[in-house]
Amino acid sequence: MRQKILFLLLCGIIALFAIPALAQEDTMPDMPAFADLPPGEWTQIMTGGETTCMYDTPYSFFVRPADAPTDKLMIYFQGGGACWDGFTCGAIGQFASRYQVGDVSTVGELTNNFGLFNYENDANPVKDYNAVFVPYCTGDIHGGDAVVTFDVPKEQLGVDFDKITVHFNGRKNSQAVLDWVYENFVQPEQVFVTGCSAGGYGATVNAPFIMEHYADVPVVHMADAAVGVTPEYWDGLTTWGFDKLGFLDEIRPNTFNTEYMLKLAEMYPNNIVSQYTTYMDQVQVGFYGIQTGVFVNAGNFLSVAVDWSAGAIERLNTLNEANENFYSYLTGGMVHCITPLPQFYDLQVEGVLVSEWIADLLDGGTAQDVSCDLARGQCINEPGM
């Protein structure tokens, strides 16, 4: 098994989007109107105001108008790790320059031409959608609202600083993007809200605000590799300031994600809420290990994965049983995420391609639950290609 140690889990994913340092600006720039953006090209839009990345550097987002005019819209939340205390934030603190928003040429999803971002593939279910890409640089799954200074165990981590101040500003950043969306897409035909990993949580966290704003518009939510299996004593949500979200009456770490989606599906029965995951997602298992005090490696991966997988199945079953408008896709193996990967067009379970499953979600009338068969060993093995 090719397992990732702590630094890879906390730093490596975002390292894909490493960029040069930028100077922060306090003013709110004039943001261009959607109608003025070039079709078929990504344009970067600076936000200014109260937006910032975790180390107080500028925030921005990206927009790609479809090649041909359309009223359909995808809002995609980027993934890339998380931190919540002096140890985890200190571990990534030495890579501060990587936790910033780059330009279009440095953001992997927008340049790799994979998954939902492959606009040359006719099988892409969002090929003809306008796209808004919400970058991730705050370590708080796009939902935090707090500025925290942590004591860092410098000797343990081998760093040269003993304190670090982190801006968990994901909620304000996301809202700034959504405010622009609301102004420029007054009455879209359909909205697809999705994202991978931390972006999958970001899609979930921000979905109720999007659904509330577009009360008369079909909204499809799909969280990619963001199941939310965490121990009850983990205090990351409190550290991030999730009590300020105002959607749930009570924030319980071990059931937060499930309760959030339960309420989301119940409050908006005409919309779709959904999840995708692999049975032993190596990154989700790795973060679960860190939250429970275990650094996952090849020797202990299976024991940690068994606990995580049991929790994942329990949460998916709870959501499937409670809501007719919730759908899930569970496949085998350890691969993390699917929407930004080339496997997006080949992965299938029981003959259902994941790309077709998402197309069915967007179609609105043909969606279904898809699952590997644990009894037949399908969930342990890598998915069929």
Nearest-angstrom CA–CA distance, 46 and 62: 9
The beta-carbon contacts of 6-9 under 8 Å, at least 24 apart in sequence, are: 6/91, 6/290, 6/295, 7/91, 9/81, 9/283, 9/286, 9/287, 9/290
The answer to whether the CB of 120 falls within 8 A of the CB of 113 is yes
How confident is the model at residue 77, as a pLDDT? 98
How confident is the model at residue 380, as a pLDDT? 84
What does the angle CA 119 – CA 122 – CA 126 come to, to the nearest 5 degrees? Answer: 55
**Per-residue tokens: 278:** 């692999």
How confident is the model at residue 269, as a pLDDT? 96
Nearest-angstrom CA–CA distance, 66 and 81: 29
List pLDDT tens digits, range 249-279: 999 999 999 999 999 999 999 999 999 999 9
Mean pLDDT of 203-207: 98
List pLDDT tens digits, range 211-249: 999 999 999 999 999 999 999 999 999 999 999 999 999
| b/e map 193-218, b = 16+ CB within 10 Å | bbbbbbbbbbbbbbbbbbbeebeebb
Q: Is the pLDDT of residue 309 over 50?
A: yes
How confident is the model at residue 152, as a pLDDT? 93
How confident is the model at residue 366, as a pLDDT? 83
Mean pLDDT of 337-349: 96
Neighbours of 321 (CB within 10 A): 8
How confident is the model at residue 29, as a pLDDT? 78
Mean pLDDT of 312-321: 96
Lowest mean pLDDT: which of 3-12, 152-161, 177-186, 350-359? 3-12
How confident is the model at residue 376, as a pLDDT? 80
Helix 256-267 vs helix 301-322: crossing angle, to nearest 10: 20
Q: Which of 151, 167, 168 is nearest to 159 (CA)?
A: 151
Query: What 3-state DSSP class applies to 284?
Result: helix
List pLDDT tens digits, range 35-50: 999 999 999 999 999 9
How confident is the model at residue 384, as a pLDDT? 57
Q: Is the pLDDT of residue 317 over 80?
A: yes
Contacts of 247 (CB under 8 A, 6+ apart): 208, 260, 263
How much of the chain exceeds pLDDT 70, in percent? 91
Q: Is the pLDDT of residue 374 over 90?
A: no
Class of domain 6-278+311-376: alpha beta
Q: Is the pLDDT of residue 15 over 60?
A: no
How confident is the model at residue 26, as a pLDDT? 52
Q: Is the pLDDT of residue 383 over 80?
A: no
313 phi and psi angles, rounded to 5 deg: -60, -40
Q: Is the pLDDT of residue 6 over 70?
A: no
pTM, whole model, 2 decimals?
0.92
Nearest-angstrom CA–CA distance, 250 and 199: 22
How confident is the model at residue 301, as a pLDDT? 94
**What average pLDDT is seen over the chain?**
91
Mean pLDDT of 349-377: 91
pLDDT band at 5 (very low <50, low <70, confident <90, very high): very low
**Could you identify the residue written with the tokens 């490493």?**
18
Nearest-angstrom CA–CA distance, 56 and 53: 5
Strands 60-64 and 130-134: antiparallel
